[in-house]
Amino acid sequence: MVKYCELFWSFFKIGTFTLGGGYAMIPLMEQELVDRHGWLSQEDFLDQVALSQSMPGVLAVNMATGVGYRLRGYRGAAVAIVANIMMPIVFIITLAMLYQLFKSNTHVVHFFMGVRPAAVALIAAPVFKLAKSAQVTWRTLWIPVTSALLIWLLGVNPVYVILAAIVLGLLWSKIGPGTNEDRTN
């Protein structure tokens, strides 16, 4: 049986030393959970990744929940989640405090003037990457475009747009052709 302290240490390392968000954690998780400890088979790991991606929420936390639960039940999940997000939260709160102290410092102001357009670019870039993996074609381009315009121009809360997509998706699978809506897939 997997020890709690080993589980904690693994997810602590994964959470603390991964820069660049949840997707960057996947290779490190695989190395730690599959190769190093052998807690999961390669196949189980990939299943867990697919499942975590299709569930709502944060990918890394979903992974920690699923893996922790498989290994040691509810307590295992709690240990893995806490270990995974503990240091990031401490880092962020520390930085938030420092920012409050130094936000009017000239160098900090200049630094953020350079960094702001980059932060926006890092949110714009996934749009095109995700469009590819979501199989957005000329025929289906109206779906993301309409969603974006509803939010951007009409001020609709994105939560309602997502809710509508879930309801319409269910209806479509009920009344639609059933197997596959896109011949291009």
Partner 1 sequence: MLFLELFWTFLKIGLFTFGGGAAMVALIQNEVTVSHSWLSTQEFTDILAVSQMTPGPIGINTATYTGYTAVLNAGYGQGLAVVGAMLASLAVILLPVVLMFGVVRFLQRYRNNRYVNGVFQLLRRVVVGVIAAAALQLATVESFGEPEVSLHFIASLVIFATVFILAMRKKSPIWLMLGSGAVGLLLYGLV
Torsion angle of C-alpha atoms 35, 38, 43, 46, degrees rounded to 10 = -60
Cβ-based nearer residue to partner 1, 5 or 24: 24
Q: CB of residue 174 vs partner 1: minimum separation in angstroms?
A: 8
| Best CA proximity match to 63, nearest among 108, 104, 24, 19 | 24
Q: CB of residue 42 vs partner 1: minimum separation in angstroms?
A: 15
Q: CB of residue 62 vs partner 1: minimum separation in angstroms?
A: 6
Q: CB of residue 168 vs partner 1: minimum separation in angstroms?
A: 6
Cβ-based nearer residue to partner 1, 33 or 77: 77
Cβ-based nearer residue to partner 1, 9 or 91: 91
Cβ-based nearer residue to partner 1, 35 or 181: 181
Residue 69 · residue 7 · CB < 8 Å = no
Burial class (CB in 10 A: 0-12, 13-18, 19+), 144: middle
